[in-house]
Structure 1
Amino acid sequence: MKTSADPVRDYLSAVGREASALPADRRRELLADLAEHIEVTRAERPHVTIGEVLAELGDPRTIAATALAEAGGGAAEAVGTPAGGGADAPARSGRVHPVVPLLMLTLPFLLASVFPHVPAVGFCSTLFRVIGAVLLCTSVHWSTGRKTAGVLLTAVLPTVAISIWTWSGAAPAGDTAATLANVAALALLAGTTAWLWRVRRA
């Protein structure tokens, strides 16, 4: 992509060209979402350069391929991506709706909190949260930094905190303390998933 006085305009123009197979209204929506994301990111992180913001968004071809795949437009054929892999892999993972990994990271913990003494629930909760973390990490809806923050806050931190709470003997006795700990963990999960939903890519 050529550099110019307005790299954002060049970037959006490149996405528009690559996504030319999309219906016009969907293409306008995609470009508007990207422009809004860039504007919000620059406002929230003024120390980050525009080049870094665009790099986090990813290659215009990949974004267009994902949008075409979600629209059922045959992304690989439309943008000339090899069917065996390469940029097609992000397009396939983009077909997973962004709400799926967020639910898989949050709801199992809620069930485990409601049924703490049922081993099967605890095992399934762990399994689903691992799958949710994998889906989050392989999704095209978030940048690498946001994926890392999401996994740390929804999977790693609660697990470490619970392990320390359970095995260190530092936990206060009584059901009230456990309930407060569960509420705090659920608040962290809910806040993180709400943030991830808000900053997701189109």
Structure 2
Amino acid sequence: MNNPTEHPLVRAHLDAVDRYTAPLSDERRRELLADLLEHVRVSLAERDPADEDAVRQVLEQLGSPQQIADAALAEEGRTRAEPETSSHTTLTLVLAVLPMPLLLVPVIGPGLALVATIVAAVRVAKAAQWTRREKTQATVLLLSPILVTPLAAAVVAASSGLDLPGVLLACAVGFCPAPVAAFRLARSAARLRTAALITTPR
């Protein structure tokens, strides 16, 4: 591995710092990550970047992602929010994908699906383990049924009439982005938990 900053441990470490410093402005986080990358690059310049022990030593010198985040946040009078427990994250993800099966419930299904989507979006906005960019993207996907479903219904109505199967089809199309959001959030949360384990000093 010619570039030490591409080492999985380095990427995991910086990824965790990025997430823990989510309350900071995007510009401040970019500056912080650039400084950390430069420190890693210089520190590993004369070492074997494939030597995992050497990489770990450099990362331990930097401090844990939590310590780095706490110091950066303290400069702006902020504190680091602890990530949600896995049970809370699971509940959020379940609410995100729940609208799809709820659409099969007669009469009240679409309404319940919309409520579940809104609750999931609120939970995502309040969660600590996702960055602002991830929250924005997920919120757009989760709330897109509000616009996409009526458009899909209009297309179905124009082509074959809006009977019950047509309504269900329009709702299914409208709520398709929700599982995509849940998948991306789940993958991001899993990466953060992995990063926290990997970057814990041995």
TM-score, with length taken from structure 1: 0.50
TM-score, with length taken from structure 2: 0.50
